[in-house]
Structure 1
Amino acid sequence: MSSDPGPLIDVRDLARTFDVRRRVEGKRRRVRDEVHAVHDLTFSVAAGEMVGYIGPNGAGKSTTIKMLTGILVPTGGQVRVGGLDPSRERVQLARRIGVVFGQRSTLWWDLPLRDSFDLLQKMYRIPPARYRENLARFVELLDLGAQLDTPVRQLSLGQRMRGDITAALLHDPEVIYLDEPTIGLDVVSKGRLREFLRALNQERGTTLLLTTHDLQDIEALCDRVIVIDHGTSVYDGSLAGLHAQGGSSRTLVVDLVDEAAPIDVPGAQVRNVEGPRQWLSFPSDASAAPIVAAVASAYDVADLSIQEPDIEDVIRELYSRGA
């Protein structure tokens, strides 16, 4: 009988403080302040999960990722990734993780994109056949064929981001940390990248920890969300649970054949009326079926649609409650 391997990422009471010195009027010496970037942070991620890790600027997201990769050493608590201590076993861990840090590229600025990939193959000692297979697949899916012989410095932000994602995945990491992976991409490219990441997770079981300000990335990719604020977790659960906790509502948009008084059906409330179109709001955790049936049976309906709640508004409400 096999034993439970436990979570791939395990964070317990994690803390990281920084000393910040500032000038105070009337004093010759600077005053030292202790800033708690992360404190009392606990969560775990199982192998194969796709988790959104979100929060406002300065919440502690990047500091957390840097501790998970071994770039920063925690000042309290503990963290394990694949059973390894990131800060003490960075070399071993580097072969098992992939990282894309937003505006900071891992590619060689003056080299053609292809040469950067070839160098990474040597660094990670990727078997040649596996390297060729991975490179061909990623280049096709991320539409990088025309850029392979272009120096990195001449790539657009979106092209470089796709190059960085390819570089982070060539060695088949167990977990990948993505920081703003769709920045600089147009709508079509964003959709293609999201499809690529979903396929990667489904086919290879790659674990994904995604930090982003584009909350459509979270809704498209992640079933679970961890919301961090002031260095600690304020929510950890499903997207549906986040909507419920934030008190969000869904909207039924009804186009009537003719103008009418505000629609009156159980479970929904009219929010706005413009001519024959009416907007009805109802709780996000409620079923739309009985409301749609009630409207259709009592009114002459030309068309209707359902608008899902904006996750950005939900998180804003969550922060305001915490504040």
Structure 2
Amino acid sequence: MKAIGFRKSLPITEKESLVEFEMEKPTPTGFDLLVKIAAISVNPVDFKIRQTAAAAAVLDMPKVIGWDAVGIVEAVGEATSKFKVGDQVYYAGDLTRSGSNAEYQLTDERIVGFKPKNLSIAEAAAIPLTGLTAWESIFDRIKVNPETDKGKTVLILAGAGGVGSIAIQIAKKVAGLTVIASASRPDSIKWCKDLGADFVVNHHDLKTELEEIGHGQVNYILDFVDLEGYWETIAEIIKPQGHIVSITGSSKPLNLDLLKTKSVTFSWELMYTRSMFTTDDIEKQHDILNQIADLLDNGILKSTLTTTLNGFTVENLKEAHKMQESGKTIGKTVIQF
């Protein structure tokens, strides 16, 4: 089967930064599905791993990355029970396994959902990784209760990005929160408002902007851009007994003492935790993806797709990586096979 990967971590402008090659089509066993891929989307994690995974040495076999896919089940392992051959599925995969930048992929059925019926292949491919990340941040980490927490404020940093775009919708339309998104360009501000954000603030001066809209402090903060850069500001604008969730990490230890007097909770969110460690609740990602699919099919949520590149080629994958590396993309970029 055809695949695209890399042997060396190189700038995306280099010819060998991504290469096409042939690899053996795998056979599913256990809980695995063999999926014939129809579309993928590209996320920041893709270029970050491409830039670092082969920085020290040239790999003998190209590494295949990619963590969003829509496709058709072609074969199933002996332990599977949720899907059958011919089912259309969507999923974000497992960080520790071969990725979706290939014509076929093995993936554990317990982290796979049925593709939303009313969405195109490209529209569906834009959702899994970001949808899971946003859902887990709001409902698994913060544990928002839509009945008792309705109207509480959440600040979403990088509202126009891939995760932010779906998080705005889930926070507003599913969790019932008052949503404040950060954005700075006219197009990204409009995007956030169109998705349902109650307010949009400029991330260059968060404290002042929040005070101007009458929300000097917020109940929850979802960091989808730069925890280290915003840490002191975040600690100042979070309400007492609030909750902060971050997906971005930090290159140095964070001063958690800044949260002590307010009894603030801090959580990391990594969408891959369940699959990496085969947690007892790994199957919850199957359930979440199906819940999100229902919300999409019923028009409560909408796809965050903004750009579709047609054709599974090195050129298109490089273009998608360049777009992600720019840091200026809005919504999601999908490659349709």
TM-score bracket relative to the smaller structure: under 0.3
TM-score (normalised: structure 2): 0.23
Q: 1 or 2, which has the higher strand percentage?
A: 1
Structure with higher Rg: it is 1
- When the two structures are superposed, what TM-score results if normalisation uses the length of structure 1? 0.23
